[in-house]
Amino acid sequence: MAAPLLVLGVRRSGTTLLRLMLDRHPHLAIPDESYFIPQLAARHRGRLDPAAFEDDLRRLPTLAEWGVSARDVRERLPAGATVADGVTAIYGLYAERRGKNRWGDKTPLYMRYLPLLERLFPDARYVHLVRDGRDAALSFLSVPPGIMTESWGHPRDAAGFACQWRTEVLAARALGRRAGERYLEVSYEALVADPRRELERVCAHVGLPFEPGMLEYEGAAEAAAKPHQQSLRRPPTPGLRDWRVGMESGAVAAFEAVASDVLAELGYELRSPARAAGPGARTRLALAAYAAKAGAWKATGAALQRSPHWRRRHPRVA
């Protein structure tokens, strides 16, 4: 199979919309969020033990939901397989089950694991969907915390979300500088304003012809399967969230205090242009605290995933 397409983007940046569009392509299969890649990478280092790997796959509900058999994945592993081979086999089978020969992934959580993605998929193509962080914050903060599937990382205010948005956007753009021509940045605002033009850009980036059926995603059964994704029932609609009318002035100021320089760099207007120089000393301390908390969360998660308790916490589902 050709190189995978990895869709990057901060939560509530429109990545589900883009995924649904791309998944309509007759040659490209992109499932809903996977979440399992960091778990498998933490548990399986070096050469795989095929039996242990298969046993772990049987404990992942996602594979059952995708209709991918752990036994079939094991049978596809090459001699001396690594976790990258195992993950590639999972997605390859998912694509084949749908009559397609290319696969991709869209999991916003992986914005915290970009070095891992680079290591596992050195030839991957990236599409980074960027949305005005204030609109993304407005959308995210309207979602009840219980809706989100992650155990940590639900910001409670605009400043907290700005720390995440700034950190992840800059990390993805740094990856883009390393990846060179394998990286494409797409504006959410441009995607909803002229979806055909932006999808043509994405298709050219991954070496696929544009297919008009990609624009008809709203008819898909899964288009709005989650309570916070009901807007996917309609065609691309500019202005669904507009921070200018929907965000309180204090929240706008708090977001811009953290991320105004990145907003300006991306071409977004600022309510307070004087902040374009970047965060002050107090805000830099908040960013450092966020980075420390995110690092601790990842380290704790990796330790739990490597421990014997992981299998007890994840009983077999297949």
The model's pLDDT over 56-84, given as tens digits with 9 standing for 90+, comes to 999 999 999 999 999 999 999 999 999 99
Residues 58, 318: contact at Cβ < 8 Å?
yes
Q: Are 13 and 188 in contact (CB under 8 A)?
A: yes
Residue 148: the pLDDT is 47
Residue 225 lies in a domain: no
> 3-class SS at 302?
helix
- Residue 73 placed within a domain: yes
H or E stretch at 94: helix 83-97
Phi, psi of 269 (to 5 degrees): -70, 150
Domain that holds residue 66: 5-220+232-313
CB neighbours of 312 closer than 8 A, spacing ≥ 6? Answer: none
pLDDT average per 10 residues of sequence, the chain (318 residues): 93 94 97 95 96 97 95 97 98 97 97 97 98 95 61 77 96 98 97 96 97 84 52 62 92 94 95 76 90 92 92 91
105, part of any domain = yes
Cβ-proximal residues to 174 (8 Å cutoff; 6+ apart), any chain: none
**φ, ψ for residue 235, nearest 5 deg:** -65, 170
pLDDT of 46: 92
On whether residue 227 sits in a domain, the answer given is no
Question: Side chain identity at 142, as an amino acid letter?
Answer: S
- Is 226 among the domain residues? no
CATH number at residue 146: 3.40.50.300
Q: Kindly state whether residue 116 falls inside one of the protein's structural domains.
A: yes
Our CA angle for 34, 191, 100, nearest 5°, is 45
Q: What total number of domains does the chain contain?
A: 1
Structural domain contains residue 178: yes
3-state secondary structure of 105: strand
Angstrom distance (rounded) from CA 234 to CA 201? 22
- Which amino acid does the sequence have at 190? A
Task: Classify residue 246: in a domain, yes or no.
Answer: yes
The per-residue pLDDT for range 186-217, each reduced to its tens digit, is 999 999 999 999 999 999 999 999 999 999 88
HSE toward the beta carbon, residue 27, CA cutoff 13 A: 13
